[in-house]
């Protein structure tokens, strides 16, 4: 009986050690993920919620080094969109094309058609609660993250300016939304 109790105690100790090791590894991976997301070091500039009639589309947050933002000048910055509805990557790209046209960008040019194709292959479908983050680095490259995981980079500052213009330029179709993001009303 004594040996049985010792054996049970040994297995319980082994199980507790395994759990602690697993927990420590999971905790280290979570910390590494936070460290690998460069916008985590930036300051919140502003936030806004996009609604279409009575539907919540997404909540947005804008971050920069200083907590201030000037379109086409501030780098690095991050625009985080937390979706409140489901959309396919095709729908996201089509809306990008429509917004470009609405603000005077030639979405059907050869360069922009190519850029939209690249974007469509990079983006994921989104469900309620998913987050897509655009992180623009100091070189003006667009780094796209899906729920904190890097999807890819478009190292094209012309694309970056056009894509960010949808939300952040003075030509945006939603000026109140922009004002909330950059805290100008």
> Mind listing the pLDDT tens digit for each residue in 4-31?
455 445 444 445 444 444 444 544 444 4
Q: What is the pLDDT of residue 6?
A: 57
Burial degree of 100 (CB within 10 A; 0-12, 13-18, 19+): buried
Q: What is the DSSP letter of 88?
A: -
Task: Give the number of other Cβ atoms within 10 Å of residue 89's Cβ.
Answer: 16
Distance from C-alpha of 148 to C-alpha of 150, rounded to nearest angstrom: 7
In which region does residue 136 sit, left (phi positive, over 0), alpha (psi from -120 to 50) or beta (all else)? Answer: beta
Burial degree of 39 (CB within 10 A; 0-12, 13-18, 19+): buried
| Arithmetic mean of pLDDT over the chain | 85
Nearest to 131 by CA among 51, 60, 63, 49: 60
Q: Is the separation of the CB atoms in 53 and 65 below 8 Å?
A: no
What confidence tens digit (pLDDT) does each residue in 44-80 have? 999 999 987 878 999 999 999 999 999 999 999 999 9
Full-model pTM = 0.79
């Amino acid at each position: 009986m004594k040996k049985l109790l010792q054996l049970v105690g040994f297995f319980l100790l082994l199980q507790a050690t395994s759990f602690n090791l697993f927990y420590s590894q999971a905790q280290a991976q979570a910390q590494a993920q936070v460290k690998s997301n460069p916008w985590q070091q930036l300051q919140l500039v502003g936030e806004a919620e996009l609604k279409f009639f009575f539907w919540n589309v997404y909540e947005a947050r804008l971050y920069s080094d200083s907590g201030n933002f000037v379109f086409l000048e501030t780098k690095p910055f991050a625009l985080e969109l937390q979706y409140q509805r489901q959309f396919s990557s095709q729908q996201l790209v089509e809306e990008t094309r429509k917004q470009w046209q609405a603000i005077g960008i030639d979405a059907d040019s050869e360069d922009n058609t190519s850029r939209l194709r690249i974007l469509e292959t990079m983006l994921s479908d989104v469900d309620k609660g998913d987050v897509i983050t655009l992180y623009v680095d100091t070189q003006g490259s667009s780094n796209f993250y899906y729920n904190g995981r890097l999807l890819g980079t478009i190292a094209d500052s012309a694309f970056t300016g056009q894509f960010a213009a949808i939300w952040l330029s003075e030509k945006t179709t939603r000026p109140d939304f922009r004002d909330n993001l950059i805290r100008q009303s």
